[in-house]
Structure formats: structure tokens, C-alpha cells
């Protein structure tokens, strides 16, 4: 009888322990599940980025047209090194040169140019990485002049992050029609503050922005509006902006409406313009060039096959 009672007691005790463990797992599951719209947005963004990493490799057109990568304010060689490395690993292109521009416009380079036809990649570094966009536009011109004279390069693509995107656009509306310089075939801007950091446009819808332009414009934007007529008609543009979806209405540094404001000028002139917005926790301004979704957008635009 005692054995029967002891056995029954042990069975009941094990059952209670099992139920307790089950409740603990349920509690952890509820705690880990997203309970706010912000959490859901972050999970969605991460799923999209993971999908881009696990998708089939990009089918690329292999060309001899070099693509120049231009860093942002205070940028260094590390700014685009990750993206360039991923492009090489994926077989989308091959790094050929690193070109450094001094404040006086003089050029030095490392690497080897071999007239390759495997989407050569060139990293451009400004020795004075805190200078203004006007001087940087002149330095972009100095690089293109050097490439034309030294390697007889007649066509390039430009990719600029942040200030590098603004300076590249400044170059295009200032020197883009100069036939003595290499033609810019395609231009990609990533997180570029085309309408600077003015306030007053936060309540404007993106549809209104596209149709009418920004309500409040900066001196920079006003200059671009005056010079847009000189933007080279055959240069295609991709404009990528980030939105953390955390209430900042931007990538933590550049407002979405500042980045997309340039679309109004481009479309008003009937220029070839495309824009993309990447969203979620991994779209912080300094991480946009580390985001694999951005990689895919850039690769498709520059070298993707239809």
C-alpha cells in the first residue's frame, strides 16, 4: 500500500513539474514576440535583408566602365570597403584602384589598372574629408580628368554616400555637360541630404513632395534648382534613402524628405530618375553602405540584366 501511494505521489509530482516547465516556456515565448508596431517593422526589415542575402547571386553585365565610390563627410577608406569587398565576393565587380585627392587637386593612387572588363571598382578618398561640396565637386572633376588623361577612360559610374552623393550631384550640374571629361553613365546617391537639414517639411506627404517639391527649401536645394538644366540628360540616377521608422522620419541623420526632394527637380526636367526607400532598424545613416538590401539595389541598377 505504501509502495502504491509513493508511486502515485511521484507521478503527481512529475506532472506538476512538467506543467511548470510548460508555463515557463510559454511566458518566454510571449516576452520575445513583438508587441509594438516598431518591433514588427524591425522584424520585417530584418527579414527583407536576410532574404536579399540568401537570394540567388545577381546576374551582372560585365563591362569595362569603372564605378567610382565617394565617401561622405569625415569618410575614410573604411566607408566603402565593406561594400566593395562584398561586391568582389559576389562576383559583381573587382576593385582596381584607390585614388586619393589632396586639397590642391593633386592625385595619388594605389592598385593596378589593367583595362579589365569585369566591372572595375575605384575608391575615391578626399585627404581633406571635412571640406565643402563645391571643393569636393572640383575634386571629383580632378579624378575624372586624371582617369581620362592617364587611362583614356571615357565613361564612368558614380556612387556617393551622404555628402559624397551631394558632391557628386554638384559635379553633375556644374561639369556634367563638359565633353572633355568622361561621361557619367549612371549615378547612385545613398542617404544624401539634397535639401540639407532644413525644418518645416515634416508634415508634407511624399506624394505632395513629388508633385510640388519641398515647402521649405535650403540654399543648397535652391542652387540645384537653378543648375538642374545642366544635369546631363543621359545620366541615369538612383536615389536611395533610409527610414528607421522610429519616429525620426529618416535614417537618424538625413530626413527622408531631404533625400527625396531632388526627385521633384529630376522628374520636372524629364530626367531618368529612380528612387528607393529602405526601412527598419538596419537603415541607420552610417550603416546604409553596410546594408545588403542597399547592395542589391546598387548592383541591380549598375550591372543587373533585365
- Tell which residue, 74, 62, 31, 102, has the closest CA to residue 163: 74
- pLDDT value, residue 52: 35
Q: What is the pLDDT of residues 262-278, one digit of tens each?
A: 999 999 999 999 999 99
- pLDDT value, residue 305: 76
CB neighbours of 125 closer than 8 A, spacing ≥ 6? Answer: 71, 75, 76, 77, 98, 99, 100, 101
- Tell which residue, 178, 189, 197, 155, has the closest CA to residue 266: 189
Label residue 237 by pLDDT band (50, 70, 90). very high
Residue 26 pLDDT > 90: no
- Rounded to an integer, what distance in angstroms lies between the CA atom of residue 175 and that of residue 294? 28
Strand-pair category, 67-70 with 120-126: parallel
Average pLDDT over residues 154-168: 98
DSSP state of 141: H
Q: What is the pTM of this model?
A: 0.82
CB neighbours of 143 closer than 8 A, spacing ≥ 6? Answer: 68, 99, 101, 107, 124
- Tell which residue, 303, 240, 248, has the closest CA to residue 277: 240
Residue 8 pLDDT > 60: no
- Tell which residue, 68, 95, 273, 96, has the closest CA to residue 156: 68
Q: Please say whether the beta carbons of 43 and 36 come within 8 A.
A: no
- Rounded to an integer, what distance in angstroms lies between the CA atom of residue 216 and that of residue 212? 11
- Rounded to an integer, what distance in angstroms lies between the CA atom of residue 52 and that of residue 171? 32
Instruction: Kindly calculate the radius of gyration of the chain based on its CA atoms and give it in whole angstroms.
Output: 25
Q: SS3 breakdown of the chain: % helix, strand, coil, rounded to 5?
A: 45, 20, 35
Computed over every residue of the chain, the mean pLDDT equals: 85
Residue 200 pLDDT > 90: yes
Residue 152 pLDDT > 90: yes
Label residue 59 by pLDDT band (50, 70, 90). confident
Label residue 60 by pLDDT band (50, 70, 90). confident
- Tell which residue, 232, 225, 230, 257, has the closest CA to residue 243: 257
Q: Taking each helix axis from N to C terminus, what angle separates 37-54 and 292-303, rounded to the nearest 10 degrees?
A: 50
- Rounded to an integer, what distance in angstroms lies between the CA atom of residue 224 and that of residue 228? 6
**Above pLDDT 90, what percent of the chain?**
78
Average pLDDT over residues 234-255: 97
- pLDDT value, residue 222: 98
Cell of 147: 582617369
Residue 73 pLDDT > 80: yes
For the ranges 38-42, 118-122, 249-253, the lowest mean pLDDT is seen at 38-42
Amino acid at each position: 500500500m505504501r509502495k502504491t501511494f509513493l508511486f502515485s505521489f511521484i507521478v503527481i509530482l512529475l506532472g506538476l513539474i512538467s506543467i511548470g516547465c510548460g508555463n515557463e516556456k510559454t511566458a518566454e515565448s510571449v516576452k520575445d514576440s513583438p508587441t509594438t508596431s516598431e518591433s514588427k517593422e524591425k522584424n520585417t526589415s530584418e527579414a527583407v535583408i536576410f532574404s536579399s542575402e540568401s537570394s540567388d547571386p545577381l546576374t551582372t553585365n560585365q563591362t569595362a566602365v569603372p564605378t567610382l565610390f565617394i565617401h561622405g563627410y569625415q569618410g575614410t577608406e573604411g566607408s566603402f570597403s565593406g561594400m566593395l569587398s562584398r561586391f568582389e565576393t559576389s562576383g559583381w565587380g573587382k576593385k582596381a584602384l584607390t585614388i586619393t585627392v589632396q586639397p590642391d587637386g593633386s592625385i595619388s593612387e594605389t592598385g593596378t589598372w589593367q583595362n579589365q572588363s569585369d566591372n572595375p571598382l575605384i575608391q575615391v578618398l578626399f585627404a581633406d574629408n571635412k571640406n565643402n561640396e563645391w571643393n569636393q565637386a572640383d575634386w571629383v572633376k580632378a579624378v575624372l580628368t586624371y582617369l581620362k588623361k592617364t587611362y583614356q577612360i571615357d565613361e564612368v559610374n558614380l556612387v556617393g554616400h551622404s555628402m559624397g552623393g551631394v558632391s557628386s550631384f554638384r559635379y553633375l550640374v556644374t561639369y556634367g555637360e563638359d565633353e572633355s571629361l568622361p561621361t557619367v553613365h549612371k549615378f547612385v546617391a545613398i542617404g544624401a541630404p539634397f535639401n540639407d537639414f532644413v525644418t518645416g517639411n515634416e508634415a508634407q506627404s511624399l506624394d505632395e513632395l513629388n508633385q510640388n517639391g519641398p515647402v521649405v527649401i535650403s540654399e543648397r536645394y535652391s542652387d540645384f534648382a537653378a543648375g538642374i538644366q545642366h544635369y546631363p540628360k543621359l545620366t541615369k540616377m538612383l536615389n536611395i534613402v533610409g527610414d528607421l521608422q522610429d519616429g525620426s522620419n529618416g535614417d537618424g541623420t538625413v530626413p527622408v524628405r531631404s533625400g527625396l526632394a531632388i526627385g521633384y527637380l529630376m522628374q520636372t526636367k524629364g530626367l531618368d530618375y529612380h528612387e528607393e526607400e529602405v526601412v527598419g532598424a538596419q537603415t541607420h545613416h552610417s550603416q546604409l553602405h553596410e546594408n545588403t538590401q542597399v547592395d542589391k539595389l546598387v548592383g541591380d541598377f549598375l550591372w543587373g540584366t533585365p
